[in-house]
Structure 1
Amino acid sequence: MSDYGSRGYGSGSEEHGWDGAGRSRGFGDGYDDYAPQQRGPVSGGGGYGDYAQPDPYQQGGSDPYTVRNPSPHDEPATSGRARVPGSDSTGPGRARGSARVGGKRPNGLSEEESEDMKKAKKKKKRRRRLIALACVMVMFLGIGTVAGTLFFQNVPLPKEIIEAELDRNTEITYAGGKEMGRIGTEQGNRSLVNVHEGNKKAEKKNDVPPHVKYALLAMEDRKFYEHDGIDFWGVMRALVNNVTGGSRQGASTLTQQYVGTVSQIRGDGTGYYTKAKEAVMAMKMDDEYSKDEIIEHYLNLVYMGRGSYGLGAAVKAWFGKKQTVKELTPSQAAVIFAQVKAPDGSFDPVKAGTDKGLKERWKYALKGMVSKGWLDKSEQEKYLEAGLPKTEKIKGLTASAGADEPTGFVSHGQILEEAEDNYGLDERDIRSDGYKIETTINPELQKIAENVASTSKGSAMKDQKENLRAALVAINPTNGEVVAYYGGSDKGTDHDKAKALHPPGSSFKEITVAAAIDAGWGPESRWDGSSPREFTETKREVNNAGENDNSEPNISLKDATRQSLNTPMYSIANELGANTIVKLAQKMGVEKMQVLVKKGDGEDEFEPETFNLDSKKVQKLLDDPNPRRFADNEVGFGQYPVSVVDMAAVNATLASEGVYHETHFIKKITNADGEVVEPIRDLAKDGALDTPVARDVTDILTGVSPKNMPGNKFPSNNQTFAAKSGTWERDCGDDCDENSSISFSGYVPELAAAAWVGDKQNENGSVKDVNNQPAYGAGISGDVWAQFMDQAVQVEKFNTKKAFTHGPGGTGSKPSEVGGGDEGDEGDEGDEGDDTDTPSCDPADPECQGGGSPSCDPADPECQGGGSPSCNPADPECQGGGDPSCEPLCPGNDRVAGDRVRPAGYHGANDSGPMHRYAIREDYRQY
C-alpha cells in the first residue's frame, strides 16, 4: 500500500486538489502545470500526457491524439494513489507530473494544526477586508470633504436677523411717567441690555456687570472664551454617548444656542442635521462678532421664564420693577439663567411649587464661577449661606398689560387711534418698536373719576340699579388734554361708553344757545316757548317736557335754556338752519354724529349711520342750500347721538372762552433710543366762538346745577361753575314714562367734564333711580359729575380758584322772536304760527303796555301784567301765575328733550342696532 494520500487527503495542492476526474476524492497527488482546470485537475490516475485534455471519465493517462479505453492489464484505479513514472502502465506517453508529498499523515491533521489553519484563514480574510474598508474610507473621506465644504458654504449666517431690531413692547404711562400699561407681543416684552468688552464696570441701569455675564457662562458654556463657536470635544462626547445608547445629549455652545434660536431651526430634539447647521453658523458668527457682542445678543434674545424675553425684562419679572440689570448680584443672575434650560417653569418656585430644582442649578452656576476664577470662594460661601435670593411672587409678565384695567380704554384704545392719526404709527409699530407713550391722563384725577363713576363703595353709582353704568370724561380747557377718562367699566376690554354715541338731550342746547347768541340774539331776547307748538314750514308739532308741557309763550333765551324748553331751541334751529347748528357743534369739539339715513324707497327704510363731521362728504352736505340736508331741526335739543368725550370738549371750549383746543390723549412719544417722535400734524386750535358770545353762554349756564350737590358748598373751593343737564326719553310706547339716556356736562375755568348714565347693554334700556322712578340728567348723572368736580378742584394744577368773566348780556342786535319791531320769525312771512304769540311792543321797553305778552318789563319786580311770567323770574319770591324760570342754581331744569316730540327720534335697541323713528320729513333724501 502506498504511503501517499488517503481518502481524505491526497498529496496534491489544497487549492487545486478538488474532487476531479483523478478520483482522488479529496485531493490528487499531482497535476500538469499546463492542464486547464475543469472540475479540478487530472490527478491520481497515473499522470497524463503533455497535451492530453482531461476526460472526466478517463481512469489513467491519455494520448495526445487518442483516447483509449482502459486496458485489461491496467491496475485498478486506487482512490488517493498517484501513479509514479515507470509503473506498469500500458498507456502510451510519458507521465510529466510529479507527486507532491505533504508529509507523513497517517491519521490526517491534528486538532492544533487544524485550528491554526482556521486562524490563518480568518486572519487573511480580515486583512483583505481592512484593506477594502480603508479604500472605501479614503473614497468617502474625499467625498465627505467635498460635501462638507459645500455644506459649510451653503449654510448662511442669518446676519440680517441677528442685526435686525428685536421686537420691543411699547410702554404707556400717565402724565408724569407712572406706568399705565404695555402693548406688544410676548417676544417683544424686553428691555435691551448692554455688554461691554472685558471687565468694564456697569454704569447705566441696563449695563451688564462682568459677574452677570460670568454667571451665564458658568451655567451654559464655561469654555466660551476658549472655543471658536463649537466645542469639538463636547460634540464627540455627546455623539459617542448617543450612539452607544446613553441618554441623548446636546453639546451646544452659547453661540450655537443663539444662532439656533435666531434662525428658528431649533426644535425640542437634538437632531444631527440641526446640530450640523448650528455648528456651521456658530463658527461663522464667532468669526464675525466679538465674544462679548455674542453675549449681548444672547442676553437680549433668549427666554428667561415668567414671560420675559431677554435679561432686561427678566430682572423685572424675577426681582421687581425697581430692580436694574446694573445691580444684579451673581446669586440673582444664577437664578435667572437657571430658567434658560427650563422654559416650562420647572425651575420657577412659584409655578413648580418647590425650589429644589432651582437650587441645584443655582449651586451649579456658583460652583462653576469659582472653578473658572470668576467668583471668590468666600463669596460663594456667603451666597450659599444666605440661600436662594428672594423672588417676586408673580407668575410672569404679560405681553400686554393694562387692557383689563379702567384705563385700558385709553392705553389700548384711544392711544392706538391717535398714534396713527397724529404720529403716523400704526398698531404694528406700537406693538413691536419699543416706544414710550406719555398720555395726558392725570393719575389723581383718573382715580377720582374711577371712584365716583364706577360701582365701587362710596361712588354715586354704588346703590343704583344693576343695569346702569356711568361714563365720565374730563378735559383741560387750556390745551385740550383729556385728564380723566372712565368708559363705563373697570375693564378696558368692555364696550367703551365714553366713546360710544348717545343722544345728549338738552345738554346739546349749550351749542344751540351759542349759535343763537353768535347769530345776534342776546340772552334776554324773547322767544315763544308755547307747547305744543306747530311749525308750519316743517309740518312739525313740537312739545316741551314736563307737566302741562311747561308752556311759556314769552320767555327769554336765558330762561328758556335754564328751564330746558324744546320749542325755542327747535325754533332757533329752524331760523338758522339745522346745518348751522351742526357746523358750530363741529367747531366746538363734536367730531362724530349719528343720524338716520334713508337706505331704500320704502317708508320705513332708514338706518342709523355715524359720520365724521370733518369728512368731505359731511362738509358738502352741510354746505347744501337745503338747511336741513344733513340733520333736521331736532338737533337743536339734542336728538342726534354724540359721544361723552365730545360733549366734554364742547364744555372745554366754553370754559376757554370760545377757543377750541383739539381733544387729545397723547402728551409725548419717544422711540426706543429716547428720541422724541414729532407728530405728523399740528393739533387744531381754533376760535370756535367770539369771546363775548362764549361769556354770554357761560352766564346763562351758571343758572343750572346738579340736583344733589355734595357738602355745604359746591364745588369745595366755592367756585362758580356752569353746566347743563340732558335727558332723552325711552322709546317704549305712548303710555310709557321712562328715559333711556341721561347726562350732565359742565365746567369751571380750569376744568371741563361730561358725565353720562344709561343701560350697560341696551341703548334703549330703562334708566330709573333707586325708587324705581324715571331718572333725569340732573339726578344720577348730575351726582356723578358733581362728586367728580368737587374733588377735582382740589388737585394741584386744577385748584386755582378763578372767576368767569361775564358777558355783555342784553337782547343782542338781532330782534327777538316775540319782541317788538322785527318779529322773531318774521323772516318767513308765511309763518303765521308765531304772530299770535308776539307782543305788541318791545319787552325790553319798561314802558311797554301793549296787548302783547308780557304787558310790562319782565325785569321789573313790580311787573304784574297779564303775560307769563307775571313777575321777575330772577326773584325767588316770584309767585306769579306763570312758571318762572327760578333763581339761578335751579335743579328743576330737567326737561326730557325727546318727550312727546315727534321728530326723527333716536332710540336704539342697542349700541349698533336699528333706530326707531317717530316721523321723518318727506323730503329726507338718501346720501
Structure 2
Amino acid sequence: MARSSGYSGKRRAAGATAIAIPLPGKRDDLELNKLHLAVAGAVGLVIAIGVTIVLGNLPGEGADGADQEDAAYLYAGGQALPDDFADRHPSLVEQINAELEARYGLTPDQLYDEAARPDGLRVVLTLDKALQEAAEQTPDEAGVVAVEPGTGAVRCYYGAEQASGADQVSAAAPHPPSSVFDMITAATALEAGASIDSWWSDQDTDVTLAVALRESRTGAMDAVAEKYGVEAVLETAKGMGLRTIADGQGTVYDLANGEYGGLKAADFGTYPVSVVDMAGVYATIAAGGLQAETHFIERVIDTGDDEVPAERDAATNQALAETTAQDLQFLGLGEAEAIEDRDFFGVGADYHGETTQAWFVGAIPQLSVAAWANGEAAADGGIGLWRNVIDTAIETNDYEAEQLPGASGEGEDLTEDIVGDDGQIDPDSAYCQTNPDAEGCGGASSSPSASDSPSADDTSSAAEPDPGPTSSEPDPEPPSSSEPDPEPSTTEDCNWPFC
C-alpha cells in the first residue's frame, strides 16, 4: 500500500451527509464529516460488517498469581500465544523484541524454548487475549489498536499485516488523520489559556472552539492552528503521545528531534500519523492528561514465575492540565446509551484522496481505541471496528460505567480572530447576534481598540449571558448560549455530538 505520498487532498468541512467525488491527485480531493453514532445506527453497523464480538476464550488464571503457561511469549492472562503468531504479525513481534532489549536488556535467544532453553525467560505481554482475538476479525484493509489510559499498555494491536503485506497501524504505515487530529489542535488552544467558548473565524461565519471541533469546521480549526503555530501544536502532540508525523511527500518526522520541516498549520489533517499513536493520544485525554508510553511488555518472568526487574520502566508525564483533558472529553462526548449506558468521547472522519479512508478514535475511561479502515472496509466509518473492541472489553473485563465530569469552565473567551481590520466585529456575525452589547459589535462600549486582545472586562461582558461552566453538569450538553449554532444544543432527539 502506498505511504503518505500516495494520498493527496485538502480538508474541507462537510455536512452531516458527505458526498465525495474523489479526483485522485488533486489537492481538493479531501472531504470529511463528523460521523453520527446513534444506538440503532451503531449496532446496525456492527452487524452490517459481520463483526462478531469475541466472548469466548476468556482469560482465566495467570496474571493474579496462578502459573503461567510455558512459552516464550504469553498474553496478559498467562496464556501462550498461538504458534503462528509471529508468522501473522512479524512487525509486531519485531516491536516487542525491540522493547525487550531497550527496557530489559534481553534478546529473544534468552527466552524459553522447549527443546533448547526449557529454563529460559518468558515475556508476559500487555495484549488481552479476548481483545486481540476480537481485533483480528478486522477486515484486510483496516486496523485497530487499544491502549489503556494511565499505563500505556497496548491491549490489542492488529494491522492486517499478513493480508496486506504491511502493518497498517504502525509508524511505518501512517494515514491522514483528518479531523481526528483536531483534538490535538484544540488541546494547544486550551493549554494556552483559551476556553472552549473562544471564538474563531470559519470562512464566512464565526464559531466557538466547541462548535469548530464538534462539527469539523476545518477553517476554524486551521485558524486555531495558525494562531499558535506549527511548533506549538506539534509540541502538544508530542506530549500527548504522537511520536511521528509525515509530510505530503512521505518524509517522516520524529517529533522527539523537534524537526518539523516545511509543515503547515493549515494542513495538519492531511499529514499522515500512525493508528497506534492516535490510540495513545486519546488515552492521554482519557487519563486526565497523563501520558504514558505505549508498550507491549507487561513483565518478564523466570521459571519460578518470579518477575525479572526492568532496566527502564515505561515513562509517564502529565502532558495536559486536568482541566484541558476534562474539556476535551466534554467536547467529544457521545451518546452514553450507544455503549451500554456509559459515557465515552470520540471523533470520526472520512478522508477522500486516491482511496477512501475512515477513522474513529475514542475512549471510555478504561480504554482508548483507534480504528482505521481503507477502501471497502471504510464504508462504516470505522465505528463497527471500534465498537467490536470496546464492547468486547466491557463484557470480558467487567468495566464499570464511569461518568465523565463535563466542561471545566476554565480559560478566556477569546475573540481576536473574528475582529476585522477596523477593530470591529461584523454586527451580523454569530458572535454579535449572541452578544449584541459586546465591545466591537456596535454596542455602547465599542471602540477601535477592539482590534487588540480583549480585556478582562470585555471577556466578562461577553460571558455574562452564559449559564456558566458545565463542569458540575452530568448531562453532555454543550453550553448553548455562547455558541452560534442555530439548533438547540441538546434535545431528546439529538445525541451530542453525533447529531
Q: Give the TM-score normalised by the residue count of structure 2.
A: 0.69
Provide the rounded CA distance (Å) in 2 between the counterparts of 1:439 and 1:493: 24
Distance 1:417 1:170, change over 3 A: farther
User: Are the counterparts in 1 of residues 425 and 432 from structure 2 also a CA contact under 8 Å?
Assistant: no
Q: Which amino acid aligns with 1:469?
A: E
Matched, 1:482 2:154: yes
Percent sequence identity over aligned pairs: 27
Q: 1:730·1:740 contact (CA, 8 Å) conserved in 2?
A: yes
Which residue number in structure 2 is paired with residue 609 of structure 1?
A: 251
Indicate the residue corresponding to 2:266 in structure 1: 634
Cα pair 1:592 1:613 within 8 Å, conserved:
yes
The residue aligned with 1:592 is 244
Deviation at 1:723, TM superposition (A): 0.2
The CA deviation at 1:840 is 11
What are the Cα deviations for residues 595-643 of structure 1, in whole angstroms up to 9, with x where unaligned?
Answer: 25xxxxxxxxxx42223221xxx32x36xxxxxx55211354x221111
Partner SS for 2:206: strand
Question: Are residue 172 (structure 1) and residue 64 (structure 2) matched?
Answer: no
Contact 1:818–1:838 (CA under 8 A) maintained in structure 2: no
Aligned to 2:486: 871
8 A Cα contact 2:211 2:483, kept in partner = no
Distance 2:107 2:433 in 1: 59
CA deviations over 1:212-253 (Å, ceiling 9, x no partner): xxxxxxxxxxxxxxxxxxxxxxxxxxxxxxxxxxxxxxxxxx
Contact preservation (8 Å) 1:818, 1:839: no
Count of aligned pairs between the two proteins = 390
Residues 440 and 482, structure 1, Cα contact 8 Å, conserved in 2:
yes
Alignment of 1:409-424 (within 5 A): 409-410=91-92, 412-424=93-105
The structural deviation recorded for 1:680 is 2.4
User: CA 1:690/1:579 → structure 2, altered by over 3 Å: closer, same or farther?
Assistant: same
Aligned partners of 1:693 and 1:807 also within 8 Å: no
Report deviation, 1:793.
Answer: 1.4
- Give the Cα separation in 2 of the matches to 1:809 and 1:838: 27
Q: CA RMSD in A?
A: 3.6
Q: How far apart, in 2, do the equivalents of 1:586 and 1:510 lie?
A: 13
Q: 1:753 to 1:817 in 2, by over 3 A?
A: farther
Residues 1:651 and 2:282 are matched in the alignment? yes
Corresponding position of 2:34? none
Q: What residue is the counterpart of 1:813 in the other structure?
A: 412
Any idea what SS the aligned residue of 1:742 has? strand
Determine if the alignment matches structure 1 residue 555 to structure 2 residue 179: no
Residue 794 in structure 1 maps to residue 395 in structure 2:
yes
Query: How do 1:109-128 residues align onto structure 2 when only pairs under 5 Å count?
Result: none
1:573 match? 225
Alignment check: 8 A CA contact 1:793 1:799 kept: yes
1:417 Cα deviation from its structure 2 partner: 1.9
User: Whose relative contact order is higher, 1 or 2, with alpha carbons under 8 Å and at least 6 apart?
Assistant: 2
Which of 317, 330, 342 does residue 719 from structure 1 map onto?
342
CA offset at residue 493 of structure 1? 9.2
Aligned residues of 1:573 and 1:635 also touching (Cα < 8 A): no
Deviates more, 1:434-443 or 1:688-697: 434-443
Which residue, 725, 733, 750 being the options, matches 2:366? Answer: 750
Q: What is aligned with 1:404?
A: 87
**Partner SS for 1:509:** helix
Q: 1:428 to 1:838 in 2, by over 3 A?
A: farther
CA distance in 2, matches of 1:409, 1:492: 13
In structure 2, the partner of 1:507 is 180
CA distance in 2, matches of 1:417, 1:725: 32
Structure 2 alignment gaps of length 5 or more = 1-69, 444-461, 468-480
Is the 1:171–1:437 Cα contact (8 Å) retained in structure 2? Answer: yes
Structure 1 residues 683 and 698, CA, compared in 2 at 3 Å: closer, same or farther?
Answer: same
Q: Whole-Å Cα distance in 2 between the matches of residues 721 and 843 of structure 1?
A: 32
Compute the displacement of 1:686 (Å): 0.3
The answer to whether residue 301 in structure 2 is matched with residue 670 in structure 1 is yes
**Helix, strand or coil for the counterpart of 2:96?**
helix
Is this contact kept in 1: 2:200–2:224, CA < 8 A? no
Matching of residues 178-197 of structure 1 within 5 Å: 178-181=79-82
1:520 paired residue number: 193
Amino acid at match of 1:816: T
1:841, 1:562 → 2: CA distance? 18
Contact 2:286 2:368 in 1 (8 A): yes
Q: CA deviation at 1:517?
A: 1.1
Query: What is the CA–CA distance in structure 2 between the aligned matches of 1:470 and 1:834, rounded to whole Å?
Result: 49
Alignment of 1:419-430 (within 5 A): 419-426=100-107, 429=110
Q: 1:674 to 1:750 in 2, by over 3 A?
A: closer
**Structure 1 residue 179, shift from structure 2 partner:** 0.2
Query: Which residue identity does 1:422 align to in structure 2?
Result: R
User: How far, CA to CA, are the matches of 2:310 and 2:395 in structure 1?
Assistant: 33
Provide the residue aligned with 2:25 in structure 1.
none
Closer, same or farther in 2 for the Cα pair 1:678/1:630, shift >3 Å? farther
In the alignment, the residues of structure 1 paired with residue 486 and residue 466 of structure 2 have an alpha-carbon distance, to the nearest angstrom, of 8
Q: Provide the rounded CA distance (Å) in 2 between the counterparts of 1:417 and 1:832.
A: 58
The CA distance in 2 between the partners of 1:503 and 1:477, in whole Å, is 24
CA contact (8 A) 1:670 1:677 kept: yes
Decide whether the 8 Å contact of 1:509 with 1:561 is kept in 2: yes
Matched position secondary structure for 1:479: coil
User: Deviation per CA, 1:73-128, whole angstroms, max 9, x where unpaired?
Assistant: xxxxxxxxxxxxxxxxxxxxxxxxxxxxxxxxxxxxxxxxxxxxxxxxxxxxxxxx
> Measured at CA, do residues 630 and 689 of structure 1 come closer, stay the same or move farther in structure 2, by a change above 3 Å?
farther
SS in 2 for 1:793: helix
Alignment of 1:57-456 (within 5 A): 171-181=72-82, 401-405=84-88, 409-410=91-92, 412-426=93-107, 429=110, 434-451=120-137, 453-454=138-139
Partners of 2:178 and 2:351 within 8 A in 1? yes
Q: Structure 1's 674 and 782: CA in aligned 2 closer, same or farther, altered over 3 A? A: closer
Q: 1:889 aligned to 2:489? A: no
Write the letter of the residue equivalent to 1:441: L
Distance 1:698 1:481 in 2: 21
The equivalent residue for 1:741 is 357
SS of the residue corresponding to residue 754 of structure 1 reads strand
Aligned residues of 1:818 and 1:834 also touching (Cα < 8 A): no
Pairwise CA distance, 1:504: 1.1
CA 1:670 to 1:522, structure 2 compared with 1: closer, same or farther past 3 Å? same
Whole-angstrom distance in 1 between the partners of 2:376 and 2:321: 40
Change (3 A) 1:650 1:483: same
Residue 522 of structure 1, CA deviation? 1.0
Residues 1:720 and 1:841: Cα distance change in structure 2 (over 3 Å): closer
Instruction: Return the alpha-carbon distance in structure 1 between the equivalents of residues 431 and 159 of structure 2.
Output: 51
Return the index of the structure with the highest Cα Rg.
1
**Residue 413 of structure 1, CA deviation:** 2.8
Residue 352 of structure 2 corresponds to 729
> Are 1:496 and 2:97 matched, yes or no?
no
The answer (yes or no) to whether the contact 2:196–2:413 under 8 Å persists in 1 is: no
Aligned partners of 2:124, 2:175: CA distance in 1, in Å? 29
C-alpha spacing 1:427/1:659, structure 2 compared with 1 (3 Å):
same
Cα distance between partner residues in 1 of 2:104 and 2:175: 29
Is the CA contact (8 Å cut-off) linking 2:359 and 2:372 kept in structure 1?
A: yes
Q: How far is 1:483 from its partner?
A: 0.7
Partner of 1:18: none
Please, which runs of 5 or more residues in structure 1 have no aligned partner? 1-168, 183-400, 455-467, 531-550, 597-606, 623-628, 732-738, 759-766, 770-774, 878-885, 893-927
Instruction: After TM superposition, give the deviation of residue 429 of structure 1 in Å.
Output: 4.8
CA offset at residue 177 of structure 1? 1.1
